[in-house]
Structure 1
Amino acid sequence: MILTALLLIQASAQAAQPQVDCENAMTQMDMNICAGREYQAADRELNAVWKKASQRAKSVDKDVGGGTQHRELLAAQRAWLTFRDAQCSFEANQYRGGSIMPLIRSTCLTALTEARTKQLREYLEFPG
C-alpha cells in the first residue's frame, strides 16, 4: 500500500516536470529548465560526497580523541553555502528582470557546487 502511494507520488511529480530535450534546448525557458536540472544533479552529488566527508571527519575525531575536524568541516561547509548563495545571487541579479536570470543563477550554482564537491573529494582522498 505504501509502495503504491510512493509510486503514484513519483509519477505525479514526473508528470509535472516539463519534457525538455536538454541536448537541443532552443528556448530560454528550456535552457533555464536544463540549467536547473544540472544544478540539482550537482547538488545531489555534493550531498553524497558531503555525507562521506562528514563521516570521515567524525571518525578522525574519534580516533584522535576530542578532535575538532568535524566541527571545523561543518563550519566551513556552512560558510561555503552562505558564500555560494550570495555569489550566485550577485551574478544573477545583474540580469534582474531578464528571462536569462534563472540560467545565470543555476549555472553559477552548478559551477560552485561542482568545485566544492571536488574539494570534499580531495579531503576524502587525503591520507590520514
Structure 2
Amino acid sequence: MRLNLYLTGAAAGMIVAGAAQAQEPDCKNPKTQADMTFCEQSRYEAADTALNEQWKKTRAALAATDKDLDEKDRGAEKALLTAQRAWISYRDAQCEAYGFQARGGTMEPMLVAGCLANLSDERTKQLKELFDAVGQR
C-alpha cells in the first residue's frame, strides 16, 4: 500500500538524517521538522508494539472463550480477527487521508505517523477493554 511505502521512505530518510546527527532529537521539545517527524514515527513504533502485545493477549482470551463454548456458539476469535483486519484497513486509509493536509510537504510524514500512533493507542485501549471483559467470565 502507498502508505507503507511512504512511511518506509520517511523512516529511511530519518535514518540517513539521524546518521548525520550525533544524537536523537529531544522529543519533548523537537526543534526541526525532521525532529518532529522522527519523534512521531518513534511514538507510532511504540504504539504499534503495545498494540501487538495487547492483540496477542486479547486473541488468546477469545480463543479460550471459544473453547469453553458449545461448537455452535463459537466464533469469538474469528470475529476479532475480522474486526482487526477491517480496523487495519480503516487505520491505513484514515491516516493516508489525514496526511493530505500537507500533501507532498515535509509535514506529511509527521501527520501520518501521528495519526497512526493515535489510532493505534485507541485500538489498544479497545482490545484491553475486550480482554478485561472476557477475562471476567
**In structure 2, what is the Cα distance between the partners aligned to 1:61 and 1:30?**
46
> Does residue 1:44 correspond to 2:66, yes or no?
no
**What is the RMSD of the two structures over their aligned residues, measured on CA atoms?**
1.5
Partner amino acid, structure 1, of 2:114: T
- For structure 1, the 5+ residue unaligned runs are 1-14
Counterpart in the other structure of 2:64? 59
Q: Distance in 2 between matches of 1:78 and 1:43?
A: 15
- Deviation of 1:17 (Å): 8.2
TM-score by length of 2: 0.79
Matches of 1:90 and 1:84 in 2, distance apart?
A: 10
* Residue type at the aligned position of 1:70: E
TM-score between the two structures when normalised by the length of structure 1: 0.84
2: CA distance, partners of 1:17 / 1:77? 34
1:61-110 alpha-carbon deviations (Å, 9 max, x no partner): 01103210000000000000000000000010231111100111011111
Structure 2 portions without partners, runs of 5+: 1-14, 19-23
| Residue number in structure 2 paired with 1:6 | none
CA distance in 2, matches of 1:92, 1:62: 43
- Aligned residue for 1:24, secondary structure, equals coil
Greater CA drift, 89-98 or 55-64: 89-98
Quote how far apart the aligned CAs of 1:33 are: 0.4
Indicate how the Cα distance of structure 1 residues 97 and 16 shifts in structure 2: closer, same or farther if over 3 A, else same: closer
The aligned length equals 114
* Per-residue CA distance 1:6-47 (angstroms, 9 max, x = gap): xxxxxxxxx978222212210000000000000000000000
Counterpart position of 2:78:
71
